[in-house]
Amino acid sequence: MSDLFSSMFLLLGIVNGAIVFALLLTKKQRSQANWILGLFIMLVSIRALIYILSKGQIFDPVSWLYVPPIEISLAYGPCLFLYFTYLTQRHFQVRDLIHFIPVALQTLYYLGLFHAPTVYAEQWILNHHITWVAYTETLVTVASMTAYLLICWHGYQNYQLWLDDNHSDSEDFRLTWLNTFLGVSSIYSVIWAGVSLSGLWIQTSYQSHFLLFAVQSILLCLLSFESWRFWQTRYPPIQHGTTNSEVEPSPINHSVDPQQANKTLSQAWLEQVIQQQCWREPGLSLGNLAQRLGTDTKTLSYIIRAGRQENFNAVINRLRIEYVCDVLGQKEDLPNLVDLASDAGFHSQRSFKRNFKRFTGVEPEQYTP
């Protein structure tokens, strides 16, 4: 009975992942990210499906000779990394295939065992595979997954910082669901490493691996549901600072205090922003503003931070909230907050409410002038 429950639980995760993957492939938006997500779902699902069908027999070292080679654990890390990369930074590049070289070697190894004469393959497994190949493979797999997860965490944090420095509506692109997914993936990796490493010395069983595949099933459900829920969102790709070639760099005057000069220039730029009411434009980015001010993004970001002690996102949204508060203070009745937020330049109510509480400490409905 417990085996049946375990199998049904894992099967639900597999079916869910397959359905969402099929739906994502119908969407042209973020197609490359969807394809790499689909590859990840397919690899994990096939491995879990063979696990369900084979049950206890799959833990016999020689049983791998009678099922298709599905030990592609070295592909999990690259899939997670490239999914995040295609989602937030860039499109496919030929050099990305380098990440799958270890996967290709792993697959060729098991293909060789699968097609080799049975007697020779059995001798190799008993004399070499379970004595040192399996140890090496497990350690390399754990190291690979750990390294790619660390890279993804680092990239996620950098993306959040980049959003605040370059986009006025960063709250709409926070990727909080990806943060949760990476957290669950990290937990899964710890469990996987523990089960895999202990399996080198302790005999494993179907039930002893259920927790591992249960977390894997939850991971599939989380990733597929959340990626589907946000499939329409276009995440701004990271762009490095660009220079306006038409603008001549100002000569450095060593007699002027640099800090004071930065504050003066920052105030001058801020006055232009207020005068032109750039802050009321939804989706305003650092690049758009730099072009209007006749400078480059790197210089503009540096001057803003040096002069205002805030990043681009905070400066723009502070102006928006100040405008909203002024309107609320002038009217006796509470105006339509949806229209007011849109008029102030907020792209969504989510961004408006979070920034309002960020700068005033209260919800918009609770604000009193």
At 344 the three-state DSSP class reads helix
> By C-alpha distance, which of 158, 17, 135, 24 is closest to 85?
158
Q: Give pLDDT, residue 271.
A: 87
Tell me, what's the pLDDT at 208?
A: 60
Q: Output the pLDDT for position 254.
A: 42
What is the per-residue pLDDT for 105? 92
φ and ψ of 285, to 5 deg:
-120, 165
Residues 281, 345 contacting (CB under 8 angstroms): yes
How far is the CA of 165 from the CAs of 160, 179, 214, 332, in angstroms?
9, 19, 39, 36
State the angle between helix axes of 2-24 and 210-229 in degrees (0 to 180), rounded to the nearest 10: 30
Enumerate the H helices of 167-236 as residue ranges.
Answer: 176-198, 210-229
Which of 236, 326, 328, 316 has its CA nearest to residue 280? 316
The pair of structure tokens assigned to 369 is: 């002038």
- DSSP summary character for residue 25: T
Burial category of 346 from C-beta neighbours within 10 Å (exposed 0-12, middle 13-18, buried 19 and up):
buried
Residue at token pair 């004399």: 127
The span from the CA of 13 to the CA of 207, in Å, is 17
Dihedral in degrees, nearest 10, Cα atoms 10, 14, 20, 25? 160
Question: Can you count the helices (H) and strands (E) in the chain?
Answer: 14, 0
- What local confidence, expressed as pLDDT, does residue 95 receive? 93
All domains of the chain, ordered by start, with CATH? 2-229 (1.20.1070.10), 258-366 (1.10.10.60)
CA distance 44 to 215: 12
pLDDT in the model for residue 216: 74
Structure tokens at 76: 């999990």
Angle between helices 297-308 and 134-166 (to 10 degrees): 70
Give the pLDDT of residue 63. 59
pTM comes to 0.79
Non-local CB neighbours of 366 within 8 Å, separated by 6+ positions:
none
Tens place of pLDDT per residue across the chain (369 aa)? 456 666 676 777 777 777 877 887 787 777 788 888 888 888 877 777 766 666 555 555 565 555 556 678 899 899 989 998 998 888 889 999 999 999 999 988 888 888 888 888 888 888 888 788 888 888 898 899 899 999 999 999 999 989 888 998 888 888 888 888 788 788 878 877 777 777 656 655 555 666 777 777 777 777 777 777 777 778 888 876 443 433 333 444 444 456 676 778 878 888 888 888 889 998 889 988 888 888 888 888 888 888 778 899 999 999 999 999 998 888 766 678 888 899 999 988 888 999 999 999 998 888 877
Residues 6 or more apart whose CB falls under 8 angstroms from that of 26 comprise: none
Contact in structure between 278 and 289 (CB atoms under 8 Å): yes
